[in-house]
């Protein structure tokens, strides 16, 4: 996810923070600090962070139980996202994976009530009691809000799973959940606007509603495409055997050897230690002014892999589309830590146009 950085792995799943989370932390932390002082505000922030993580890990761990891996968990302004590697194969799996998050939030809310009561009973600091009470409210809100029955919220995923189980067509079910998401989003926007008109702070609610509405529209638009790409794997479109060249190769030499680049017209740049620095497209070699081509090295032209969508050969193609970089829609294909090939923007475009005609 652009604008995110990895902080580590939990249970083997990479956890990333998006820059917008800092904004949320300042806002929430500032509010808490006014009432409780900085120490308890920090405790509250850590609890909030842990609560959102617990919610996302519940999705990820139940998914794992159904044989669905998690690519990464990203925390951002409006909460968290657990990005699954593939789609659940049964309505039952889809429903339980979706329900796990809100259930975890309810469990954390219950634990927070317990902690608040225990702290108060033991005559603990009142600031700590307030922090636990606040955590109860936040987690209950997180559960209830996420259970609103419209995609992309968990409640929408549960709705889609139920409909899928009922009529057996998952794409139709997704479209239905998308429509419900538009309705839910519109209602949340109206509630936000109403709160603003009443003089309360409803901006965050209105913005969240708008986000839900737009995500629901995007999911509905994607449903027919996903249907027509059903069964297509990343490996089906992959150009295997990307050429490699040393990082100190100059652009001129590489252009002389451009026959090596093959159909993908791209070269992987190899560092002295054997690791790969990134990719250079043939087009980029040509864009170096002719008089500089002898001095410009591949090392300085390489685009790091973090700037490309990454996928494994067995992954469904439809799954990868959401990860494409809009300006550079290449897919790098990996088996473990080894680059095995790429999907070029042209190959992808051709397949999608074909899908649009047949879908
Ligand atoms: Zn969730």
Residue 8's pLDDT is: 86
The mean predicted confidence, pLDDT, of the chain is 89
Measured over the CA atoms of residue 340, residue 345, residue 346 and residue 351, the dihedral's sign is: positive
Q: What is the DSSP letter of 259?
A: G
Q: Summarize pLDDT for 292-346 with one digit per residue, the tens.
A: 999 999 999 999 998 888 888 988 888 788 778 777 889 999 988 889 999 998 8
So what's the pLDDT on residue 166? 96
H or E element, residue 46: helix 38-65
State in Å: Cα 211 to ligand 1 middle.
15
Identify the segments of the chain with pLDDT beneath 70. Answer: 1-2, 78, 356-359
Whether 270 is catalytic: no
Place of tokens 């890990």: 57
| Dist. CA 90–CA 97, nearest whole Å | 11
pLDDT given for residue 11 in this prediction: 87
Give which of 237, 246, 250, 244 is closest to 330, Cα–Cα: 237
User: pLDDT value at position 177?
Assistant: 95
How is residue 111 written in tokens?
């634990």
Per-residue confidence (pLDDT) for residue 69, from 0 to 100:
87
The three-class DSSP label of residue 314 is coil
Q: Taking ligand 1, which is a single-atom ion, which protein residues have CB atoms under 5 Å away?
A: 101, 146, 154
pLDDT score recorded for residue 356: 67
Tokens standing for residue 78: 């409006």
Kindly give the distance from the C-alpha atom of residue 142 to the centroid of ligand 1, in angstroms, as a whole number: 9
Measured in angstroms, how far is the CA atom of residue 59 from the centroid of ligand 1? Answer: 7
Six token digits for residue 242: 């990307």
Query: What's residue 100's pLDDT?
Result: 96
Q: Report the distance separating Cα 83 and Cα 136, nearest Å.
A: 26
pLDDT of amino acid 214: 92
Q: Which of 16, 56, 270, 281 is catalytic?
A: 56
């Amino acid at each position: 996810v652009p604008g995110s950085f990895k902080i580590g792995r939990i249970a083997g799943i990479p956890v990333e923070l998006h820059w917008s989370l800092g904004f949320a932390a300042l806002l929430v932390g500032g509010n808490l600090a006014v009432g409780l002082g900085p120490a308890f505000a920090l405790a509250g922030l850590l609890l909030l962070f842990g609560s959102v993580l617990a919610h996302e890990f519940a999705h990820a761990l139940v998914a794992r139980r159904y044989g669905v891996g998690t690519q990464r968990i990203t925390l951002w302004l409006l909460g968290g996202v657990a990005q699954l590697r593939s789609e659940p194969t049964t309505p039952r799996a889809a429903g339980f994976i979706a329900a796990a998050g809100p259930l975890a939030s309810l469990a954390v809310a219950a634990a927070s009530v317990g902690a608040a009561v225990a702290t108060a009973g033991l005559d603990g600091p009142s600031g700590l009691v307030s922090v636990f009470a606040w955590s109860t409210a936040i987690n209950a809100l997180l559960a209830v809000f996420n259970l609103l029955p419209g995609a992309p919220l968990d409640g929408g995923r549960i709705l889609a799973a139920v409909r899928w189980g009922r009529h057996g067509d998952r794409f139709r079910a997704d479209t239905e959940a998308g429509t419900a998401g538009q309705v839910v989003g519109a209602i949340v926007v109206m509630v936000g606007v109403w709160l603003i008109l009443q003089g309360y702070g409803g901006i965050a609610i209105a913005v969240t509603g708008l986000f839900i509405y737009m995500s629901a529209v995007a999911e509905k638009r994607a449903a027919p495409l996903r249907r027509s790409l059903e069964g297509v794997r990343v490996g089906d479109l992959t150009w295997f055997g990307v050429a490699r060249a040393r990082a100190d190769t100059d652009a001129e030499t590489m252009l002389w050897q451009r026959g090596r680049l093959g159909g993908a017209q791209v070269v992987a740049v190899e560092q002295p230690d054997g690791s790969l620095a990134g990719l250079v497209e043939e087009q980029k070699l040509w864009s170096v002014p002719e008089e500089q081509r002898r001095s410009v090295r591949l090392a300085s032209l390489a685009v790091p892999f973090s700037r490309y969508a990454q996928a494994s050969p067995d992954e469904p193609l439809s799954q990868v589309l959401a990860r494409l970089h809009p300006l550079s829609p290449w897919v790098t294909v990996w088996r473990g830590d080894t680059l095995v090939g790429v999907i070029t923007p042209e190959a992808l475009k051709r397949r999608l146009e074909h899908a649009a005609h047949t879908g």
